[in-house]
Amino acid sequence: MISDKIRDILNEQINKEFYSAYLYLSMSAYFSEIGLYGFSNWTKVQSKEELDHGMILFEYILGRKSQVYLSQISMPTFEMNTPLEVFEQIYEHERSITSAIDSVANMTDSECDLATRNFIDWYLREQIEEEDSVSKIISKLKAFGQENSALFLIDKELGKREYTSPKY
């Protein structure tokens, strides 16, 4: 059994992960509309991963014999600008998710919940990877993204990303 505070913060995190899925999916639609199908693929794959992140939390809460309550998911919003500007918004979003996961970790410490602390460590590592992969794409876009031919190649590369369910 987990404490009410841990139950509540994990449920809030489910909402944040599903919001992330919505956000990436709406970005995927935008990239598709402007003909950047590789960027569209990358963000669509990320959207699926975010759903997995939410579902891992869902199963964990149930597995601890606690209560899942799903709340309203906000409408995703972002500025529909250049790929660089969209990826800068992604980076800011992921930083906010990292800070939310930090809050979960801090609460497990204050509630002396070692099992949930162990569970949430995976999310801390996942956030490091996500921030890193997004910042690498931003660096490429800053270095080469002004040239159409380079943008074409980056789009092609992002088009190769394949979905694999996260190894939790």
Tokens for 119? 């569970």
- Assess contact for 145 and 82: CB atoms under 8 A: yes
- Least distance from ligand OFO to the Cβ atom of residue 113, Å: 21
Phi, psi of 78, deg, nearest 5: -160, 160
- Least distance from ligand OFO to the Cβ atom of residue 47, Å: 10
Site residues (vs ligand OFO, CB under 6 A) = 17, 20, 50, 53, 94, 97, 126, 130
- Of 130 and 155, the one with the shorter C-beta distance to ligand OFO is 130
| Contact partners, residue 128, CB within 8 Å, separation at least 6 | none
The conformational region for residue 165 under phi > 0 = left, psi -120 to 50 = alpha, else beta, is: beta
- Of 97 and 158, the one with the shorter C-beta distance to ligand OFO is 97
- Least distance from ligand OFO to the Cβ atom of residue 82, Å: 21
- Of 6 and 90, the one with the shorter C-beta distance to ligand OFO is 90
